[in-house]
Amino acid sequence: MSIDLTGRVALVTGAGTDPGLAIAQALAAAGASLCCVDLNPDRAESSAQAIGQAGGSAFGWQADISNKFQAAGAIEEIRDVYGRLDVLVQATAIRPQQDLLTMDEWEFRRTVEYNLVGSFFIAQLAARVMADEGGGLIALLVDPVDPQNAQGSGALAASQAGVAALAMVFAQEVAASRVAVGALPVSTTQATVQALMSLFT
C-alpha cells in the first residue's frame, strides 16, 4: 500500500546521517515537504539538496536541539517556509562509549542533555504547534542497548530510557489534541524507515 503524504510538512532531526537521512528521504518520496535538521550544517544542507535533486522539497537547518532557542528556531523556520508542521521525527543522538567508573561528569551530562533534554525541547515545541493546528505525529527514535552487552553504554542507556518514558507520557498528555507520540526503536536503517512509515497506514 503506497503512502501519500502530499501536503504534509515534516521536520527530521539528525537528518544528516542514517537513519535520519533515510527517514527524511522516505518522507519526501511520499510527498512530504522537509526541514532537514542536523548539528552539522554541511550535512543538513547536503541532505536537503539530495532530496531536492530527487524531486522533493526540502531545506537544511543547523541546530543543537539541546539548546531550546536553536530548537525553537528550527520550528519557527519550517513554519515560515511551509506554513505548518505535521510530523516530527527526532533521530539525533550522541553515543559515547566509556565505562561509568571512568566517565567524566561533563560527558555524562552532555549525553543526557543532548539526547533526553533535546528530545524534550523539540517534542514540546512541536506538540504545541501541532495541537494548535489540529494534530500531528511525533516519533522519538530510541537506541536499544543490549542488556547482555551494555558495558560502555551507561550514558546512552540512561538517556534513551528517559526518551522512551518521555514519549509515553507525552502520548497521554497530548492525545486529546490529536497529536500522536511514540518511541521508535532503532534497528537497521531499512527496518527503522519501514517502522516509521507504517505509522501513516
Residue 66 lies in a domain: yes
**175 located within any domain:** yes
Amino acid sitting at position 189: T
Residue 2 included in any domain: no
Edge-to-edge strands of the sheet including 87-90?
A: 58-62, 33-38, 9-13, 87-90, 136-142, 179-185
Within a domain: residue 3?
no
pTM of the full predicted structure?
0.96
Count the domains in the chain.
1
Structure confidence by residue, pLDDT tens digits, 184-194 = 999 999 999 99
> For the domain that residue 32 is a member of, what is the CATH number?
3.40.50.720
pLDDT band at 56 (very low <50, low <70, confident <90, very high): very high
Residue 78 lies in a domain: yes
Q: pLDDT category, 119, cuts 50, 70, 90?
A: very high
Residue 168's domain spans which residues? Answer: 9-198
Give domain status of residue 117, yes or no. yes
Is the residue at 4 inside a domain?
Answer: no
| Gap between the Cα atoms of 201 and 198, Å rounded | 5
pLDDT score for 2: 86
